[in-house]
Amino acid sequence: MSIQAVLFDHDGTLVNSEPVHLELWNSVLSTYGFQLSDRQYKDLYAGLPTPANASDLVSRFGLSTDAIALASAVLPSMNAACDYIQRVYLDSAREA
């Protein structure tokens, strides 16, 4: 089977990606001793841009980092998934 097309949905319209985002945020926040509950994430952060979430999290938890660094800590995990798909499946793909 060859892959003919891949549709990336980064905003949750077609795929519920919010649980993955919560897991990524909690992975980063755990280094500061904090975790978000499902309810906190849904009420405060779901559907919002990464920079806005990072800014609020730094302020809310008084983290010893800035919003840019916090967002940068989350983005590699998100980008790694895209890079893997590109390398393994889409080397000959083109953007439409």
Q: Which domains does the chain show, CATH number per domain?
A: 18-89 (1.10.150)
Provide the pLDDT for residue 3: 75
41, two tokens: 């994430």
Cβ 26 vs Cβ 35: under 8 Å:
yes
More confident residue, 20 or 71: 71
Q: For the whole prediction, is pTM greater than 0.75?
A: no
Q: How far apart, in whole angstroms, are the C-alpha atoms of residue 29 and residue 9?
A: 25
| Separation of first and last alpha carbons in the chain | 21
| Per-residue pLDDT tens digits for 28-67 | 999 999 999 999 999 999 989 899 999 999 999 999 999 9
Question: Chain-wide mean pLDDT for the chain?
Answer: 83
